[in-house]
């Protein structure tokens, strides 16, 4: 027996355990049977058609996309300000401020959702897509700030000073030097916030207005056995979509490194 066999098989089992359930999704999404069980009954694309014909689902998807896009944009822009302040400036109360920004990362979502709901209702705010975006920004900010802080940190301060020295204003320096160099971080932050928002369930359920977003809609559909295969079809599409997003993020990350001549140290793919 070769050395390291035990560890190799452990790694294999681990990966299998992690990804096998996800591989079940496409398997049954293309299965002709209405029940999710073996043996398979033959190939069909019927569930994809059924899924697409579902008016409510399309509306839920639309809402989710609006929320995810807005959340990712707002979180990333706020994250740029916070990361810049965190890396470049010293000010009183900096530690506590950044501690509070990062806190939602460890707070249970349900606590955040309940607290927000209580506050919003007592303020008389009507629940809508807007309130969900608000909650999602709160949840995404820690990730945006963490990603962008590391992007800003790897930037040599003399690059900024050199641009100032060569006659640029602080704003044009930001636009011409800083922004292009942290762009991979900005794209990564946007994509991560987008994916966090689009599959978030708790806050979306609590702060929603009764018109469900995608995650809430899927959860609701699972109560009807007849709808399950269509949801599996939807799941298959979401998995494919996630893999694509990840690949894009990785592409930009690598291109960013190649452009600046840095050494590749890790990454997702």
Partner 1 sequence: MTSADKPTMIEFKDVHKYYGDYHALRGINGKIRAGEFFSLLGPSGCGKTTLLRTIAGFEDISSGAVLIDGKSMANVPANVRPTNMVFQSYAIFPHMSVAENVGFGLRRDPRSKAEKAKAVEEALEMVGLKGYGARAAHALSGGQRQRVALARALILKPKVLLLDEPLSALDKKMREHMQVELIKLQRQVGITFILVTHDQEEALVMSDRIAVMFEGEIAQLADPETLYRRPNSKKVADFIGTMNFIPCEIVSEAGEHVTVDAKGLGRVDLDIGQAPPARGEAPVVGLRPETLTLLYPGQTATERATEGVIDEVIYFGDMTYYDVYLGGTDVEVRLSMRNVPGRPVLDVGTKVQVAWSPSALVLFR
- What are the residues binding partner 1 (CB under 8 A)? 156, 158-159, 161-169, 177, 180-181, 259-262
Q: Who's near 269: CB < 8 A, 6+ residues apart?
A: 246, 247, 250
Based on CB atoms, which residue is closest to partner 1, 4 or 92? 92
Based on CB atoms, which residue is closest to partner 1, 160 or 200? 160
With 0-12 / 13-18 / 19 or more C-beta atoms within 10 angstroms meaning exposed / middle / buried, residue 195 is buried
Based on CB atoms, which residue is closest to partner 1, 119 or 162? 162
The Cα 176–Cα 198 span in angstroms is: 32
Nearest approach, Cβ of residue 184 and partner 1 (Å): 11
Neighbour count for residue 105 (Cβ, 10 Å) = 13
Nearest approach, Cβ of residue 31 and partner 1 (Å): 50
Nearest approach, Cβ of residue 183 and partner 1 (Å): 9
Based on CB atoms, which residue is closest to partner 1, 209 or 260? 260
Nearest approach, Cβ of residue 161 and partner 1 (Å): 6
Structure tokens at 81: 């300000």
Name the nearest CA neighbour of 178 among 83, 267, 89. 83
3-state secondary structure of 31: strand
Nearest approach, Cβ of residue 171 and partner 1 (Å): 11
Based on CB atoms, which residue is closest to partner 1, 50 or 168? 168
Based on CB atoms, which residue is closest to partner 1, 180 or 267? 180
Nearest approach, Cβ of residue 269 and partner 1 (Å): 23
Tracing tokens 């807005």 back to the chain, one arrives at 70
Name the nearest CA neighbour of 267 among 154, 195, 184. 184
* Contact yes or no for 113/203 (Cβ under 8 A): yes
């Amino acid at each position: 027996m070769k050395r390291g066999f035990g560890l190799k098989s452990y790694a294999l089992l681990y990966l299998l355990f992690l990804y096998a359930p996800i591989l079940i999704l496409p398997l049954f999404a293309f299965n002709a049977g209405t029940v999710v069980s073996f043996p398979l009954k033959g190939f069909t694309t019927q569930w994809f058609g059924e899924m697409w014909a579902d008016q409510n689902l399309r509306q839920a998807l639309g809402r989710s996309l609006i929320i995810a896009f807005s959340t990712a944009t707002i979180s990333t822009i706020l994250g740029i300000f916070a990361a810049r302040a965190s890396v470049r400036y010293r000010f009183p109360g900096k530690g506590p401020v950044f501690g509070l920004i990062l806190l939602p990362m460890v707070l249970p979502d349900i606590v955040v959702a309940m607290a927000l709901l209580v506050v919003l209702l007592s303020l008389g705010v009507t629940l809508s897509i807007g309130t969900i975006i608000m909650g999602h920004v709160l949840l995404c900010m820690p990730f945006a700030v963490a990603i962008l802080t590391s992007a800003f940190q790897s930037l040599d301060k003399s690059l900024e000073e050199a641009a100032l020295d060569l006659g640029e204003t602080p704003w044009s320096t930001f636009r011409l030097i800083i922004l292009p160099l942290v762009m991979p971080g900005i794209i990564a932050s946007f994509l991560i916030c987008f994916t966090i928002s689009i599959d978030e369930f708790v806050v979306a359920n609590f702060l929603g207005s009764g018109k469900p977003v995608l995650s809430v809609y899927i959860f609701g559909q699972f109560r009807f056995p007849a709808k399950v295969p269509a949801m599996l079809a939807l799941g298959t599409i979401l998995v494919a979509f996630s893999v694509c997003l990840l690949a894009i993020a990785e592409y930009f990350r690598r291109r960013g490194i190649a452009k600046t001549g840095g050494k590749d140290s890790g990454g997702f793919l």
